[in-house]
A and B are shown apart, each in its own frame.
Chain A
Amino acid sequence: MAQKPGTMAQMRNGTSGGDKRQYETEVIILNQCRKLNGQIFIQRDYSKGLDVQFEAEYPARLTEKVPRDVWENTIVRINRIFADAEAITPQTIFETVLGCFTCYASYAITKSTYRRKLDELQEFLNRENREIYHHVGFHIRNPMERGLRVLEISLLSRQGETPRDDVDSPGGAIRTI
């Protein structure tokens, strides 16, 4: 099983440096994580109307892993991105008018404001996941995958133990590459 941990790891990553700072990439199969741990669903908040907004309530399963203010910051940012995407601005009006006059040829060429905001959201989620949520075993998925109905947070590790390190490949959710 374990022969020479340090050298093996170094060979695989091909990096050298302080061993505290070393990272490796793990591939996680989300379906297995879902079977093991379930997911957290953040439902849509319709109280202000149909614009895409998610409930800002602090999910109970995040306790002791993610501080409340960090979560609130994340969800407020997500909601703000959607609010910006749904807003009527001179830019969206211009987009629409231009589309009308060019027989919607401009739609094929340019990205809509909404689409650009979604790209921004994806970028934001990637950053938040990388910097905060992956370290504590969560992964916020892009709500577009769920048709903007729910915001899904996958639990990468189980409460109390860390299957991320211990699951063996045959039955396990995680393989290390």
Chain B
Amino acid sequence: MALMTQRLLDEEIAIDEETERSRDTERHETHVNQCEMSSSFSATSPSTSSAYQLEEHISAPRATPELPPSDPKRRKWQSHPGRNRFGCGGRLVCSRSHGAFVVTVILMIATLTVYFVFDAPFLWGYSPAIPIVAAVLSLIVITNFFATSFTDPGILPRVDNIEIIEMDRQQANGNGINDVAHLRPRFQDVVVNGEHVKMKYCTTCRLYRPPRCSHCAICDNCVLMFDHHCPWVGNCIGLRNYTYFYRFVFCLSILVIYLFASAVTHISLLAQEMPFGDVMRKTPGSAVVIVICFFTTWSIIGLACFHTYLLCADLTTNEDLKGLYRRKHRPTPPSSTPSTSAATNSSVGHSTKNPFYAGCFKSFFGRLFKSRFPSLLDARGYLDPHPTIEIRVPKKSEKSIENH
């Protein structure tokens, strides 16, 4: 028994040394990160914060090997490291920068108010259906807008230290190397439907970003199926809120055209009865609606068409902007063997087809009608730094008693 305990203690010490070593390597890496990214100030703060976090985490179990007295009532969103704002006890997630979001809300509310004050009563006289349709459309637009703004876009939670340490150990054992740079190469290659896709290592979240996942510089999170960060809705657009966003943009483009047409009709009908100056004096609101709609229509219709195209081609805005699947922008093949690439594609560059594309119709409906992906953040879940499980084991008479 004593011998066993001794052995166990040795083991424990060895493991502590190991964590120590990993901590050093971590430190080294964060240092490298800082040097590397000192030009962009936004990247420095998270790496230092992760270092602090690590420090804390490693030292905590040493001081108290038993279950430490941690507050069980803390929820996960309260210690979320990204730049997000949470509402309603973690149910709502949005970005911390919200300037443009406020502008959008004011613009939308103002336009709709003006329309319903000046145009709607007049048009009600012709047909009550006209304002009712406008009301329904605006309701759809507003709900989709808020759904986009306050839904978790598909944030990948950051990796905890235990997993990093263990991964490194497994890698080191597997390859027999002890160098951090070799342990975690910048890219990992996966084959998706026969095409090579690079998975980049995210130094902030400390994980290999899954294909189509990207790190949002504004929210400081890795977001699955990252489309873009939309300041107007004040959130990233990703896997979980893309459908809301698409419906929002699509319905908004219809609504804007509808409001524009209504206001123009209103003014032209009045202009038949009275001179134009009187019309302006009677419904100044219509003119306001026309001006606002005229200037916003083009960008919104363009956006709606663009996203319809993206849905049909199964692309994200991010991929489209980077030109990931276009020939020109791919000077080197990701990882095909040098001999074949040199023979075939050395001058032209390598074009890859989109490995996720499964046909226009299928991708369009696939992205709009899938069941909602669960929030990986689990923002309302309780933090549990020391998870325990209960297992049922057959009783072994003497040994289990020895613990007491």
Contact = CB atoms under 8 A, between A and B. Distances in A.
Given A1-B402, A31-B387, A49-B192, A147 B8 contact: no
Interface string B383-397: 001111111111111
A92 B371 contact: yes
A46 B197 contact: yes
A144 B387 CA distance: 14
B225 interface: yes
Contacts of B212: 50
Contacts of B368: 96
A149 B156 contact: yes
A22 B372 CA distance: 44
Given A9-B400, A41-B170, A27 B387 contact: no
B374 A114 contact: yes
B400 A172 contact: no
A113 B163 CA distance: 30
Contact of B374 (A44, A118, A163): A118
Given A6-B397, A50-B225, A172-B8, A28 B156 contact: no
B92 to A, nearest CB: 12
Contacts of B371: 85-86, 92, 95, 112-114
Contacts of A113: 371
Interface string A94-124: 0110001001100100001111001000000
Given A31-B387, A47-B191, A176-B400, A171 B156 contact: no
Main secondary structure, interface of B, reads: mixed
B10 to A, nearest CB: 11
A150 B368 CA distance: 26
Interface string A28-57: 111110111011010010111110000000
B399 A35 contact: no
B376 interface: yes
Interface in A146-172: 146-150, 152, 156, 161, 163-172
Contact of B5 (A32, A85, A150, A168): A168
A31 B19 CA distance: 13
A129 to B, nearest CB: 8
A71 to B, nearest CB: 18
Main secondary structure, interface of A, reads: mixed
Contacts of A115: 372, 374
A150 B157 CA distance: 12
Interface stretch (B32-40, B139-147, B263-271): B139-147
B376 A147 contact: yes
B191 A30 contact: no
Nearest to B396: A165
Contacts of A170: 65-66
B190 interface: yes
A140 to B, nearest CB: 11
A49 B392 contact: no
A8 B101 CA distance: 65
A147 B309 CA distance: 30
Nearest to A163: B8
B392 to A, nearest CB: 4
A116 B286 CA distance: 49
B403 A175 contact: yes
B402 to A, nearest CB: 5
A26 interface: yes
A100 B393 contact: no
A174 B1 CA distance: 16
Contacts of A29: 67, 386-388
A165 B396 CA distance: 8
Contacts of B404: 8, 176
Contacts of B11: 36
Contact of B376 (A1, A100, A107, A144): A144
19 contacts: A6-B397, A8-B404, A9-B400, A20-B394, A24-B393, A28-B388, A29-B388, A30-B386, A35-B162, A41-B170, A47-B190, A48-B192, A49-B193, A50-B192, A50-B210, A88-B365, A134-B391, A168-B402, A169-B403
Shortest 7 CB-CB distances between A and B: which pairs? A113-B371, A5-B397, A165-B399, A114-B371, A103-B143, A147-B376, A92-B371
Interface of B: 1, 4-5, 8-9, 11-12, 15, 19, 61, 65-67, 139-140, 143, 147, 156-157, 159, 162-163, 166-167, 169-170, 190-193, 197, 207, 210-212, 225, 243, 247, 355-356, 358, 365-366, 368-374, 376, 378, 385-404
Given A48-B193, A115-B374, A147-B376, 9 more contacts: A22-B394, A46-B190, A49-B355, A92-B369, A96-B369, A103-B140, A113-B371, A144-B376, A171-B8
